Amino acid sequence: MSIKKIMVPLTFSRFSQRMLDYSATLAEALDAELILVNVINERDLAAVDKISSFGFKVDSEHYVETVKKERREAIADMASKLSLADDRVSFVFLIGDPSTELLRFVVESNVDLVVMGIKTRDLQHIFAGSVAERMFRRCPVPVVSYRGGDTTEQMTQWVRKHITHT
């Protein structure tokens, strides 16, 4: 199996930069392209439309453009710190239900591997209705779960306490 396209969904969590660094290392080792993806959740757009219906001067089109601008700047800053050549890194915005849009993008763009972080620190709740849960269950390509920093340590301690017999 050849891995030439690695997708990294970004949520701007506290360990996003470390996850990007890890993904860039993988992409470099595999001579692959790194595709950074951010989904603007359709629920946020529905909320903006609801607020607009009360007479406030806000609309979903302006909201999307503002969010894209802010996130594009944040991504550019994170991407500038990567060891990977600029021509091997791209960025895509999607709008809709995050798991649905990510899965659609994987298939339509012929992605070979997904690297994503898991926000929860609680091992028991990793697969409880999250975007990560849906990606792990439904994604047609391998999904690498990135755990960084204190999350790794906390999960290691949990496993030692509840599973291993040392």
The pLDDT value recorded for residue 49 is 55
The pLDDT value recorded for residue 45 is 62
Residue 66 vs residues 53, 59, 63, 129: alpha-carbon distances, Å:
19, 11, 5, 29
State the Cα–Cα distance between residues 54 and 51, nearest whole angstrom. Answer: 5
The pLDDT value recorded for residue 48 is 61
Domain boundaries, the chain: 5-162
- In CATH terms, 5-162 corresponds, of 3.40.50.620, 3.40.50.9100, 3.40.1390.10, 3.40.50.1970, to 3.40.50.620
pTM, whole model, 2 decimals?
0.79
The pLDDT value recorded for residue 120 is 56
* 95's tokens: 């709008």
The pLDDT value recorded for residue 99 is 94
- Tell me the mean pLDDT per 10 residues along the chain, length 166: 94 85 95 95 66 63 82 91 91 94 98 85 55 90 83 75 72
* Rounded-to-10 torsion of CA 131, 127, 34, 5: -100
